[in-house]
Structure 1
Amino acid sequence: MTKNVGGIDRTLRIVIGLALIAAAATGTVGLWGYIGLVPLATGLMGWCPPYAMFGFNTCSVKKAD
């Protein structure tokens, strides 16, 4: 798996995922808040399956000249 999630995208996924999980754990939102596991996992891994399917890449990779 080549990393296709980077920088701000990765940070936002982790923060949003943790916020949704915390909200679900405290009962602020319903059980649907555990969907936050998805952005958390993709942010931690740095790879997103839909990004790979559609050819998106937010990870800045420097190419050697």
Structure 2
Amino acid sequence: METLSVGEKLSALRKMKKLSQKKLAELTGITQPAISAIENNQATLGIDRAKILAKALACHPAVLLFPDLTI
């Protein structure tokens, strides 16, 4: 089983919710370039951003912070 990176997990969850990076940025207040950087593993997610993104994506923050974690 292949492990996803934090960025890959964020991207997958965002696409499952049929959200563009721009729409997710509008929902969260996190800039689209920042979301892009996280998805491309060029920036770290951090707990605060994980909480904000998880709320918008209707998941637990741990799902984003620990992408190979099964809840």
- TM-score, structure 2 as length reference: 0.29
**Larger radius of gyration between Structure 1 and Structure 2:** 1
Q: Which has the higher contact order (CA 8 A, sep 6+)?
A: 1
